[in-house]
Structure 1
Amino acid sequence: MLTFTVGSGPALEVAEYADFDTGQAVYRVTGIGTFTLGRDPDHHPEADQDPMEEILHVAYGSGPLGFQMDEAPVLFGLTLAGAESFTRAALVSGDLRLRPYRLILSAPVRAPKGTARRATAIVSALARHWLAQPWAPELRRAHEHHCAPSSLHRYGGLIAQHEERMRRLREDHAYYIQRAERATTILQAGPVPAPEGAPPHPFTSPDTTTHSAGR
């Protein structure tokens, strides 16, 4: 059991868990509820990504990701709902500002500012603890492994799109080369002389001598 002092509130007793199937860290806060921390499932991690550019994720509750989750945290009598993403840079710099939802008559409504500030303080403390653990890099790799099937599907689709685009570009390229070669052949053949009996050039000066002789 861990103990956290967050702001001026009472110390928090927290049980910590690590889900290496999904790459998530789960924190059950006594008397409040559960916060599930990890990387944003909609962002595909890259091996060479700057850690400060990581998009982190907190879900208010436990179990399958959804708007209303099991063990959802309760702060100031309000049950938090949903999930939020934030940058690691905002967490480290202290600029993190969460705005969790709550339900009123089955409609999602943003929690009051005081509740949001308390949620931000708790999530910040838990997230900093999670990222500082010696097993955090392995948990990141577990997240990458968990996301690999969807990443493969996504990149496969992008590769197919680019291959089709390149096929069209190759066709256009071949067509334009053909047209350029034809234009070169025409240019090399030289100007076209007017055949005998053709009408005069529209910009040729009139033969004034012939007209004067007929007067």
Structure 2
Amino acid sequence: MQIVTPNGRRLTITYINDWTSGATTYHVDRMGAFVLTWYQYAAPDDHNTLVVHYGTGPHQDWRFYAPRDQAPNLFGTTLVAYSVINPDKMTDGSHWLHAQRSIAEARAEEISDASRRHLADILRGLVDHWRNQPWHLDLHRAHRHQRAPTHLRDHNTKIRELTAEADRIAHQLAEQRAAARIQADLIAAGPVTPPADTAPALIVRNHHHTQDHAIGQYALDLDPT
């Protein structure tokens, strides 16, 4: 079948869906394979961020920038790795797109501006076709099902961390409440009133000072000499 890109480029394509991973592989005639799916590192509630892998099959970590099987060749530029894209930001131009070409098994560089413009137009055409298929939502559910064990493990890890934190806070809260009750009881008891049989205070007078000091039972007049 053929699709037409926003810039009028006609692409002859075939595609196949992977209902285990929730991905679609587009084979573009005389160009190569593009694998479209949702970005696996996006938040669980992010249903919009996509990833396009250039070529098919897995890659070895040490050969990450080596071309995959059926890697697209765009006017002499072989694409490697992948691009993360957001359909809502795929506007005219190519500023939203980052893509790389291999210069060694472990090295890559950004493609040229001209190649980026061509690739942006092609991706907009493929993504528009992909999102408007009647099976698109079912494919999305397949992707979410495939990612669910990973997300569940992440949620359970966070639950354990938050539970430990909540227990620590609950213990500190109990301590503070107990200490607050002690202070509240002291306030409720009111000021201390001296007993009725308390002996009169001893008035100490110093000839050099006018202040009286109540410290005991008997009056004492100090002579500085």
Same fold (TM over 0.5): yes
Q: Residues of 2 paired with 1:70 and 1:184: CA distance?
A: 75
**Structure-1 residue corresponding to 2:38:** 39
Amino acid at match of 1:156: N
Match of 2:78, SS? strand
Match of 1:128, SS? helix
Q: Residues of 2 paired with 1:86 and 1:8: CA distance?
A: 21
Q: Find out whether 1:167 has 2:172 as its counterpart.
A: no
TM-score (norm 2): 0.78
The within-5 A match list for 1:62-77 is 62-64=56-58, 67-68=65-66, 69-77=68-76
**Between Structure 1 and Structure 2, whose CA radius of gyration is higher?**
2
How much has 1:212 moved relative to structure 2?
A: 10
TM-score (norm 1): 0.81
How much has 1:81 moved relative to structure 2?
A: 0.9
8 Å contact 2:65–2:104 — kept in the other structure? Answer: no
| Change beyond 3 A, Cα 1:58–1:211 | same
Aligned CA-pair RMSD: 3.1
Amino acid at match of 2:158: L
Q: Residues of 2 paired with 1:175 and 1:121: CA distance?
A: 64
| Change beyond 3 A, Cα 1:105–1:64 | closer
Q: Residues of 1 paired with 2:35 and 2:104: CA distance?
A: 25
For residue 58 of structure 1, the aligned residue among 16, 29, 52 is 52
The within-5 A match list for 1:1-215 is 2-6=1-5, 7=7, 9=9, 11-46=10-45, 54-64=48-58, 67-68=65-66, 69-91=68-90, 93-94=91-92, 97-106=96-105, 107-192=107-192, 206-207=211-212
* Percent identity for Structure 1 against Structure 2: 25
Greater percentage in helix = 1
Comparing 59-68 with 150-159, greater Cα deviation is found at: 59-68
| Change beyond 3 A, Cα 1:199–1:45 | farther
Deviations 1:34-67 (A, max 9, x none): 1000110112433xx6x6xx11111111123654
* Structure 2 portions without partners, runs of 5+: 205-209, 214-218
8 Å contact 2:54–2:81 — kept in the other structure? Answer: yes
Amino acid at match of 1:131: R
How much has 1:187 moved relative to structure 2?
A: 1.9
8 Å contact 1:26–1:35 — kept in the other structure? Answer: yes
Q: Residues of 1 paired with 2:21 and 2:13: CA distance?
A: 21
8 Å contact 2:65–2:108 — kept in the other structure? Answer: no
